[in-house]
Structure formats: structure tokens, C-alpha cells
Amino acid sequence: MTDAYIYDALRSPRGKGRKDGSLHEVTSLRLSAQILNAVKDRNGLDGHAVEDVIWGNVTQVGEQGGCLARSAVLASDLDERIPGLSINRFCASGMEAVNLAANQVRGGAGRAYIAGGVEMMGRVAMGSDGAAIAVDPSLAMESYFVPQGISADIIATEYGFSRDDADALAVESQKRAAAAWQDKRFDKSVVAVRDVNGLPILEADEYMRPGTDMQSLGGLKPAFKDMGETMPGFDAVALMKYPHLERINHIHHAGNSSGIVDGAAAVLIGNKEFGEAHGLKPRARIRATAKIGTDPTIMLTGPVPVTEKILADSGMSISDIDLFEVNEAFASVVLRFMQAFDVDHDKVNVNGGAIAMGHPLGATGAIIIGTLLDELERSGKGVGLATLCIASGMGAATIIERL
């Protein structure tokens, strides 16, 4: 089979996903087009250079609807013969875009792809595209639907993580992210967002709170306690699914969960001939990809079985992996991953994660692959694994090998 290589990976800085966030004035279309242009310009992708743009995006309504991928291609400087495909696998959409692209390259369907994603969470509200699993009683009741925050708290309860465990992970994420930015570790990947006149709008992640400590987090109220215990009472539903639990321990809050932000990212993937034709040097080989469906109620434990699957599929073991990116959707997701594989935190999210810098849903999967690649190169390590938990009970993973 043909190998699929990563030739480039870049991202926008992440803006606060609120009315006063720096990227709030930027449209999903404009941000997507800027990122695509950056890929084109850095790699000289003139003409029909890539087969397709696969663009991950979760909330595909309004300005993010109508196959944003195609609109973004047309709004960018890319050749109009490049079509554009919007995809949605919730939080792993950006990763699924990369994996789809890689697997098509491996299968011989096209020489190269741009894969990535965007999410302007401050402009297009999460959940505004509806969701039958949450709203349609015939499925919501049968699948014991609870919102993600409750699921994260179920993980904490089931696997014994305390509020302090979660807060400590959050503090460390902030510390690592601040140190990484200070050390300019993201310089290779982050592309400033500019206005129509070329003036910079945002040049660095703005969601971080570097001074965060246990004390400041300690003052935050658990975010999902009320909806769990009182209105409408999701805990009762959770206990029906897990009758060995007496109650749900609500440990998550805004400070130890991923941030709501705006952002976009892209990865340029191609085979050997593509690189040779464009005079590009491959940076990493995409060694394996995987996805899996899991229990939809606890929902966010996917990184564990999908990692087991990707290791089994590729004949590797956990000790073969030098570095991990496990999306910090909620602290308990990462805690559970480290517990399940007995992996030291020193190898996981070494430059911080979504708790500190934010989680632009459709883009994050591509972001963490880029972050992983940058760190493998910086530290001289060989193999990295990126994985995300996914809404409705799924998991996705990618293993890359630095060249």
C-alpha cells in the first residue's frame, strides 16, 4: 500500500468563543479560507494540486451549513477544480478529516488532500444543529442519553477520580500551555488571523489563564450538578444505566473542562510522488488510523478502546508510543486514559491541551495532530498517538511517525 505523509500542519490561534472574543468578528468562511490559503502559500499548491479539501465541522447550520468546505474552497485562492467535503464526527471531525484523507491516499484515490476543520463556537452555538439522540424520546430514553458534562462526571465516579485530581490536571494544562507559548513551541504552526486589509486580528491563543492554581479552581461550582440532581435529573438516568453506582460525583466545571473557542486548522497529506512533484519534504508518516463506537451514556471513554484497537490493528503496543495527545474535553477523559494504560502524565499533552487553550470542536482533531508532530520534531522523538473522545459514544485515533 502507498504511504500517506504529512507535509504540513498549521492552525489559527484560538479566540474566546464569546461575543468579546477576538475572532468573533471573523466568519467561519473567512477563517477557513485564510487557513486554506496559508496551506497553499506555504507549500506552493497552484492549480489542481490536491484531490479534495476535507473539512471537519460539527455545527453545520447557518454560516457553517451548506457544505462549508466547498464554500471555503471557492472563497480561498485554491483552484475551483478542488471540490470540498464537509464532515461531522463531532469532536473528532478534524481528525477524521485527516484519517479519511490519509486512507484515500493510501488506497490510491488521489495524490494529496488538505484535511482539517473549523468551528466558530461563539458565532454558531454548539447544539444549534439539533440532535435526535438528545431530543427524540425513542432514542434518548433507549440510549440513556445524558449531556457530556454528566458523562464526564460518570467517568470520574466510575473510575474514582476526585475533584482534586481533575483540578490538578487542569492546573498542569494551564502551566504547560503557558510554558509552550513562552518557549515559542507553536510558532511553526500558528498562523495569525488577519482582516481584509492584512491587519492582524489575533496572533496567539487567548483563552488561557496562566495563573490558575488549585485555590482559584476550588471556588468554582460543579457545572453539571443541578441538571444532574434536580432539573431535569440526568443522574437518575445515569444510575439506571449503571445501577451499581449510588450517586454521581459531580467534579467538572468550567476550569477543568475544555474551553469554548473559535479556531481552524489544516493538515496537508500526500503520497511520495506528490512531495517530489512539489519539492516538499514529508515530515511524518501516518502509520495507523482507527475509530470505534462505545457506550453512549458514559460516552467519553472512547480513547481507551480506540487506542486498544489502533495498537492491535497496527501490531504495536502502548510502550511503542513516545508521546500522546489526548484531547482534554474534560479532565476525567485524560485521567481515565492514563489510568487505563498506566501512562505517565509526562508523556501526555506535554504542551497543554484544550482545558487551557480551548476546543474548537471541528478543528481540534487536526490541531492536536499538528501539535503532536511539532513536539515529536522538537524533542526528537519518534512515534506519537493522538486520540479524542466523541459525543454519542465514539472514539478516534491516529498514530504518526516522525521522519
- Catalytic entry in 250, 252, 253, 389: 389
Q: Is 244 in the site for other proteins (CB under 8 A)?
A: yes
Q: Catalytic: 345?
A: no
CA distance 381 to 372: 10
Q: Which stretch binds other proteins (CB under 8 A): 241-249, 256-264, 272-280, 323-331?
A: 241-249
CA distance 363 to 351: 18
- Catalytic entry in 24, 67, 91, 244: 91
Q: Is 237 in the site for other proteins (CB under 8 A)?
A: yes
- Of these, 45, 97, 118, 146, which contacts other proteins (CB under 8 A)? 146
Q: Is 230 in the site for other proteins (CB under 8 A)?
A: no
- Of these, 67, 75, 126, 140, which contacts other proteins (CB under 8 A)? 140
CA distance 361 to 264: 9
Smallest gap, in angstroms, from Cβ of residue 239 to other proteins? Answer: 6
Nearer to other proteins, 146 or 334 (CB): 146
- Of these, 44, 46, 80, 141, which contacts other proteins (CB under 8 A)? 141
- Of these, 127, 160, 210, 218, which contacts other proteins (CB under 8 A)? 127
Task: Judge whether 43 and 5 are in contact, CB under 8 Å.
Answer: no
DSSP alpha helix (H) spans, 45-195: 68-75, 93-107, 132-135, 137-140, 148-159, 163-182
- Give whole-number Cα distances, 9 to 197, 234, 265, 364, in Å: 25, 40, 8, 12
Smallest gap, in angstroms, from Cβ of residue 139 to other proteins? Answer: 9
- Of these, 7, 90, 113, 144, which contacts other proteins (CB under 8 A)? 144
Q: Catalytic: 67?
A: no
Q: Is 338 in the site for other proteins (CB under 8 A)?
A: no
Interaction residues for other proteins, span 246-265 (CB under 8 A)? 246-247
Smallest gap, in angstroms, from Cβ of residue 240 to other proteins? Answer: 6
> What is the DSSP secondary structure assignment for residue 13, as one 8-state letter?
P
Smallest gap, in angstroms, from Cβ of residue 132 to other proteins? Answer: 9
DSSP symbols for 331-383: HHHHHHHHHHHT--GGGBSTT--HHHH---HHHHHHHHHHHHHHHHHHHT--E
- Of these, 130, 160, 200, 218, which contacts other proteins (CB under 8 A)? 130
CA distance 180 to 69: 31
CA distance 115 to 266: 6
Smallest gap, in angstroms, from Cβ of residue 133 to other proteins? Answer: 10
Q: Catalytic: 253?
A: no
238: helix, coil or strand? Answer: helix
Q: Is 243 in the site for other proteins (CB under 8 A)?
A: yes
Buried b (16+ CB within 10 A) or exposed e, 66-105: ebbbbbbbebbebeeebebbbbbbbbbbbbbbbbbbbebb
Nearer to other proteins, 104 or 148 (CB): 148
Smallest gap, in angstroms, from Cβ of residue 153 to other proteins? Answer: 15
What is the size of the binding site for other proteins (CB under 8 A)?
28
- Of these, 74, 135, 277, 312, which contacts other proteins (CB under 8 A)? 135
Smallest gap, in angstroms, from Cβ of residue 129 to other proteins? Answer: 9
Alpha-carbon Rg for the chain, nearest whole angstrom, is: 20
- Of these, 19, 138, 184, 196, which contacts other proteins (CB under 8 A)? 138
Nearer to other proteins, 135 or 214 (CB): 135
Q: The C-alpha cell of 383 is what?
A: 512515534
Q: Is 295 in the site for other proteins (CB under 8 A)?
A: no
Q: Is 19 in the site for other proteins (CB under 8 A)?
A: no
Nearer to other proteins, 236 or 312 (CB): 236
CA distance 164 to 403: 39
- Catalytic entry in 250, 252, 253, 359: 359
CA distance 115 to 125: 23
- Give whole-number Cα distances, 348 to 49, 151, 232, in Å: 35, 22, 36
CA distance 308 to 287: 15
186: helix, coil or strand? Answer: coil
Residues tagged active-site = 91, 359, 389
Instruction: Give me the residues that bind other proteins (CB under 8 A), please.
Output: 127-128, 130, 134-138, 140-141, 144-147, 231-237, 239-240, 243-247
